[in-house]
Amino acid sequence: MDDPRALLARMTLEEKVGQLFVLHVYGHHATDPDPADMEVNERELGVRTAAEAIAKFRPGGLIYFGWAHNTRDPRQLATLSNDVQRAALGRSPGVPLLLTIDQEHGVVARVGAPATLLPGAMALGAGGSHDDVREAARIAGAELRALGVFQNYAPSADVNVNPANPVIGVRSFGAGPDAVSGFVTAQIEGYQSAGIATAAKHFPGHGDTETDSHSALPHIHHSREQWEELDAPPFRAALAAGVDAVMTAHLVVPALDPALDPATLSYPIVTGVLREQLGHQGLVVTDSLSMRGVRTKYGDDRVAVLALKAGVDQLLDPPQPELAWNAVLRAVREGELSEERIDASVLRILELKVRLGLFDDPYVSLDAVDETVGSSAHRAAADRIADRTTTLLRNDGGLLPLSPDTHRDLLVVGADPVSPSGTTGPPTAVLAAALTGLGFSVTTLSTGIDPSKEAVDEAVAAAAGRAAVLVTAYDVTEGDAQDGLVAALAATGVPVVTLAVRTPQDLPGTAAALATYSWTDVELRAAARVVAGRARPAGRLPVPVVRSDDPGQVLYPVGHGLSYEAYAASD
């Protein structure tokens, strides 16, 4: 491989501008996607296929999504990776693509089964083991590398200090800056040991907001001192661990930039704080530029230019790639952006590709896919790690564990939120199947996130004669329909166990309550083993549980978690 500077010197301005972009393209195939995907590509990109998008824009990278139909199965995805690399290397300037993904695990997974699905960040935070976090990232990284994906947009370095946070929540390791910092370091080490580039997100910190930046522009009202104490430590830890990139957030932090620009577009935040104060020398990538939070103040053409002026290197997923590409090119030609500024970003991108070995060999073996992705060793490790994350919050009267000998007939009811990629079915069905495999006789009834009176009545009728009822709870608030369902079931006298399948805040009053931190198969299987006494609950809350109608009242503090022995001793 030539020296990156020599390659940079041979590139045209158009080729350099292309390297700044990380695009998504619809379809499972580089040259022959489904007709519906061709139509969407033509509407959004002005091309029909990924190969045509590469020829037109010369992008520095692509990002894979399940909703873009990129990820049907492991061999298909590896083939797609090889084919888009051939398309990139067959065109001037012959630079391989940096293929990326959001594969956080837990509630955010783009590649599903048969790939190994692992507990997400908050579950790992509950497990409390840096070794488990490191091992989970090594497994995830090995499988991504086998698929031709060389960068994962992880870890989340956000400190989730606001229980009402709608966008981060269980994607954060927890509510303590020091604890989050340790897990962030371990995850970076695990991914990098597998040859995967990392990206700490969402700078300068998305943990204390009640607004989702996908749909609006959040404001973080921390003082500069609070930011230094709460938000900055995990990013400092990430930089110390050698993180490859930092992803910016689409939010306003007046204490860091009184101009009230989104952090992604803020020179004081990206260059002043991240580059100059914290000393980050690696890549800076935007969060998706399709998100509403970054588009509320400026047009899509200006967003791309302003992000580069702020100090960003990579423009991720712009909603109108041709408009943004032309706007950047025009800004350079008219002098708003210097070519030297563009060169600095392109050089960082090329240097990362060199470090990852992409110029030496960007291709993957399909045989290695079969050997690595979803291997029995990886799946077994995922189950072991998940067993250590399940948190027992309440166990009145020692209801848990249940035994097939004394509690054979169970009813599983509750919410069935849309599942992350690769789960085998709705949460109630997955939980019921796991319990059936452990010797129970299980009836399943999905009552939904907002159960109707008819659904509640049906659940109450189905509870008659059961040894116990298990309820999957999702986004419960005091007095809502799910809360009413649980109250009606409890009134039957049948023992009720709640499983909080998203945040541990989802806890209506029941005799026993578990937190799983997600509703993916691996976490629900672990919960079933805990319910059946096949695994002992070892998780400890990484965030406090507060009353939904009175957030100042802490029901369970950070670190709370029962074991069966501990409860028996205190009963």
The one-letter code for the residue type at 264 is T
If you average pLDDT over residues 144-160, what whole number do you get? 97
CA-to-CA distance for 570 and 4, rounded, in angstroms? 64
Specify the range with the lowest mean pLDDT, choosing from 76-80, 128-132, 214-218, 331-335: 214-218
Indicate whether 571 pLDDT > 60: no
If you average pLDDT over residues 217-229, what whole number do you get? 91
- Burial-class residue 219 by CB neighbours within 10 Å (0-12, 13-18, 19+): middle
Q: What local confidence, expressed as pLDDT, does residue 287 receive?
A: 94
H or E element at residue 99 = strand 98-101
Q: What local confidence, expressed as pLDDT, does residue 420 receive?
A: 63
User: Would you say 514 and 537 are in contact if contact means Cβ atoms under 8 Å apart?
Assistant: yes
Among 214, 300, 370, 396, the one annotated catalytic = 214
If you average pLDDT over residues 488-503, what whole number do you get? 94
Q: Is 69 left (phi over 0), alpha (psi -120 to 50) or beta?
A: left
Percent of the chain with pLDDT over 90: 83
DSSP code, position 19: H
H or E element at residue 554 = strand 550-556
pLDDT band at 184 (very low <50, low <70, confident <90, very high): very high
Residues in a beta bridge with 285 = 247, 314
CA-to-CA distance for 66 and 68, rounded, in angstroms? 5
CA-to-CA distance for 54 and 74, rounded, in angstroms? 22
250 flagged as catalytic: no
pTM: 0.94
Q: What local confidence, expressed as pLDDT, does residue 508 receive?
A: 67
Q: What local confidence, expressed as pLDDT, does residue 167 receive?
A: 75
Token code pair at residue 359: 């110029």
According to the 3-state scheme, what is the secondary structure of 246-312? EEECCCECCCCCCCCCCHHHCHHHHHHHHHHHCCCCCEEECCCCCCHHHCCCCCHHHHHHHHHHHCC
Indicate whether 384 pLDDT > 60: yes
- DSSP H helical ranges for 46-197: 50-57, 74-89, 121-127, 130-146, 177-193
202 flagged as catalytic: no
Secondary structure (3-state) at 545: strand
Indicate whether 570 pLDDT > 60: no
Among 287, 317, 383, 521, the one annotated catalytic = 287
**In this structure, is the dihedral angle defined by the CA atoms of residues 467, 468, 469 and 472, taken in order, positive or negative?**
negative
- Burial-class residue 92 by CB neighbours within 10 Å (0-12, 13-18, 19+): exposed
DSSP code, position 497: E
CA-to-CA distance for 511 and 532, rounded, in angstroms? 16
Listing DSSP states for 368-414 in one string gives HHHHHTT-HHHHHHHHHHHHTT-EEEEEGGG-PSP-TTTS-EEEEEE
Q: What local confidence, expressed as pLDDT, does residue 92 receive?
A: 84
C-alpha to C-alpha distances, 304 to 20, 22, 89, 318, 472, nearest whole angstrom = 10, 12, 26, 8, 42
Token code pair at residue 402: 């249940």
If you average pLDDT over residues 323-330, what whole number do you get? 97
Secondary structure (3-state) at 35: helix
If you average pLDDT over residues 336-353, what whole number do you get? 98
If you average pLDDT over residues 26-32, what whole number do you get? 97
Q: Give me the count of residues in the chain.
A: 571
CA-to-CA distance for 488 and 457, rounded, in angstroms? 8
Which domains occur in the chain, in start order? 4-210+218-372 (3.20.20.300), 390-570 (3.40.50.1700)
Indicate whether 2 pLDDT > 90: no
Indicate whether 468 pLDDT > 90: yes
Indicate whether 213 pLDDT > 70: no
C-alpha to C-alpha distances, 194 to 25, 140, 171, 230, 241, nearest whole angstrom = 26, 8, 22, 30, 15
pLDDT band at 1 (very low <50, low <70, confident <90, very high): low
- Burial-class residue 415 by CB neighbours within 10 Å (0-12, 13-18, 19+): buried
According to the 3-state scheme, what is the secondary structure of 340-368? HHHHHHHHHHHHHHHHCCCCCCCCCCHHH
Mean pLDDT of the chain: 93
CA-to-CA distance for 394 and 400, rounded, in angstroms? 9
pLDDT tens digits, 6-28 = 999 999 999 999 999 999 999 99
pLDDT band at 568 (very low <50, low <70, confident <90, very high): very low
pLDDT tens digits, 41-78 = 999 999 999 999 999 999 999 999 999 999 999 999 99
pLDDT band at 566 (very low <50, low <70, confident <90, very high): very low
Rounded (5°) CA angle 279-280-286? 140
CA-to-CA distance for 196 and 36, rounded, in angstroms? 32
Indicate whether 163 pLDDT > 80: no
Rounded to an integer, what is the distance from CA 515 to the centroid of its chain? Answer: 18
If you average pLDDT over residues 379-395, what whole number do you get? 96
Stronger pLDDT, 375 or 216, i.e. the higher one: 375
